[in-house]
Amino acid sequence: MAVQEKYTELINAAKGSGISNLQVREQNNVLYIDGEAPNGKVKDNLWAIYNKLDPNFRSADVVLDVKVAAMASGTKAKVTTESSNLNIRKGPGTDQPTVGKAAHNEIVTIVNQTNEQWSLIKTDKGVEGYAYNEYLVKS
Amino acid sequence: MKRLTFKSFLFVCVFAAGMTSCKNKTTVKTSDVDSSKVTNTAPVEVSSDEALTRNVLDATKDYPGVQATVTNGEITLAGNIDKDRLPKLMAAIQGLNPKKVNNLLEVK
């Protein structure tokens, strides 16, 4: 119960920002918040509140797992690496060989979102393979 | 005759007491059911250490200063990281369904 009091602001923000399938649970003094945010901005805002309540996430008493809603097949996505190219791989995993690259800020097409970490994408040059979701934002 | 009346009075008393205790039991049971309905919480699903170990490699690949270890569903992060990159890394790590995340990173 104490954990929920500490993170009241975070819980209220999650409840008030249109997150679907929101679940707030406490188990063994860890607060678990799960759901699907309508966009990346909502997710970033929750992380900013969490960082404010628990500076640098030191307390190990929250698992915040709010995902941005999956991109539908055919969606155009922008490559949001910091500056480098994004690897496109044969399979969904960094142990898979690269089959090509997408440039920073390049627009690619989502073929399908394979899982929470990886999507099958296709570039305008026709390279098809798997890329890490963290670097893909709906354009 | 008097004795019979007394006996039947006793019987009524015992019967009534029995009813009351039964009633209490029923009430307790109902409130148990109600409280579980209110909380309605499925236990939190934690990924296996094998899945966490595999996925944590992908999540930390682009953070060369960061080492991650997995034990009993807990992910522990060590090494160092720039302050403004920390929230993104934590979001990726906490999204893997760990039991908890111990952050021992030196934040620069």
Can you tell me the ipTM of this complex? 0.83
Among A12-16, A44-48, A73-77, B3-7, name the one with the lowest average pLDDT.
Answer: B3-7
Residue B89 and residue B66 in contact, taking contact as beta carbons nearer than 8 Å: yes
Q: At what angle do helices A40-53 and A8-15 cross, to 10 degrees?
A: 170
Paired tokens of A4: 């929920």
Mean pLDDT of all residues belonging to chain B: 80
Residue A91 and residue A134 in contact, taking contact as beta carbons nearer than 8 Å: no
pLDDT of B82 over the 50 cut: yes
**Closest of A32, A47, A38, A40 to residue A19, by C-alpha:** A38
**Closest of A72, A139, A80 to residue A110, by C-alpha:** A72
Cα B91 from chain centroid?
A: 21
Nearest CA in chain B to A45: B87
Instruction: Read off the pLDDT of residues A122-134 as tens digits, 9 standing for 90 and up.
Output: 999 999 999 999 8
Q: Output the pTM of the full model.
A: 0.75
- A102 burial (CB, 10 Å; 0-12 / 13-18 / 19+) is buried
Chain B residues interacting with chain A (CB cutoff of 8 angstroms): 41, 43-44, 54-55, 57-59, 61, 83, 86-88, 90-92, 94-95, 97-103, 105, 107
Cβ neighbour number for residue B70 with a 10 Å cutoff:
20
pLDDT score at B42:
87
- Greatest Cα pair distance, chain B, in angstroms, is 98
B34 to chain A, closest Cα gap in Å: 18
DSSP state of A57: G
Among B38, B53, B90, the strongest candidate for a mutation testing the A interface, having the largest count of A CBs within 10 A, is B90
pLDDT of B9 over the 70 cut: no
Percent of residues, chain A, with pLDDT higher than 70: 99
Q: How confident is the model over A89-111, as a mean pLDDT? A: 97
CB contact under 8 A, B58 and A94: yes
pLDDT score at A39:
85
pLDDT of B85 over the 80 cut: yes
Residue A137 and residue A40 in contact, taking contact as beta carbons nearer than 8 Å: yes
Q: At what angle do helices B86-94 and B49-60 cross, to 10 degrees?
A: 160
Partner residue facing B55 (CB), from A25, A58, A117: A117
Question: Taking CB atoms and an 8 Å cutoff, what residues of chain A touch B98?
Answer: 63
Instruction: Read off the pLDDT of residues B24-70 as tens digits, 9 standing for 90 and up.
Output: 544 445 555 544 444 457 899 999 999 999 999 999 999 999 999 99
